[in-house]
Chain A
Amino acid sequence: QQQVKQSPQSLIVQKGGISIINCAYENTAFDYFPWYQQFPGKGPALLIAIRPDVSEKKEGRFTISFNKSAKQFSLHIMDSQPGDSATYFCAASPYAGGTSYGKLTFGQGTILTVHP
Chain B
Amino acid sequence: GAVVSQHPSRVICKSGTSVKIECRSLDFQATTMFWYRQFPKKSLMLMATSNEGSKATYEQGVEKDKFLINHASLTLSTLTVTSAHPEDSSFYICSASIRGNEQYFGPGTRLTVT
Q: A-B contact count, CB below 8 Å?
A: 62
Q: Footprint of A on B, CB under 8 Å?
A: 4, 6, 32, 34, 41-44, 46, 49, 51, 91, 93, 95, 97, 99-108, 110
Pair B42/A109 contact, Cβ less than 8 Å: yes
Nearest chain A CB to B15 CB, angstrom units: 24
Interface centre among B44, B91, B99, B110 (most CB of A within 10 A): B44
- The reply to whether the CB of A66 lies closer than 8 angstroms to some CB of chain B is no
Tell me the complex Cα distance, A96–B101, Å: 5
Nearest chain B CB to A113 CB, angstrom units: 14
Per the 8 Å Cβ criterion, residues 16-61 of A in contact with B are 32, 34, 36, 41-46, 49
Pair B46/A104 contact, Cβ less than 8 Å: yes
Given A34-B102, A42-B107, A44-B105: A101 and B97 within 8 A (CB)?
yes
**Interface flags, A102-115, vs B, CB<8A=1, else 0:** 11111111010000
Main secondary structure of the interface of A (DSSP, over half): loop
Question: How many chain A residues touch the partner (CB < 8 A)?
Answer: 24
- The reply to whether the CB of A93 lies closer than 8 angstroms to some CB of chain B is yes
Pair B42/A96 contact, Cβ less than 8 Å: no
With a cutoff of 8 Å between Cβ atoms, the chain B residues found around residue A89 in the complex are 43-44
In-complex Cβ contact of B97 among A45, A102, A109 (8 A): A102
Q: Footprint of B on A, CB under 8 Å?
A: 32, 34, 36, 41-46, 49, 89, 93, 95-96, 101-109, 111
Tell me the complex Cα distance, A54–B93, Å: 31
Pair A41/B110 contact, Cβ less than 8 Å: yes
Nearest chain B CB to A108 CB, angstrom units: 5
Interface centre among A34, A103, A107 (most CB of B within 10 A): A103
Nearest chain B CB to A8 CB, angstrom units: 14
With a cutoff of 8 Å between Cβ atoms, the chain A residues found around residue B43 in the complex are 89, 106-109
Tell me the complex Cα distance, A99–B97, Å: 14
Nearest chain A CB to B6 CB, angstrom units: 8
With a cutoff of 8 Å between Cβ atoms, the chain A residues found around residue B41 in the complex are 109, 111
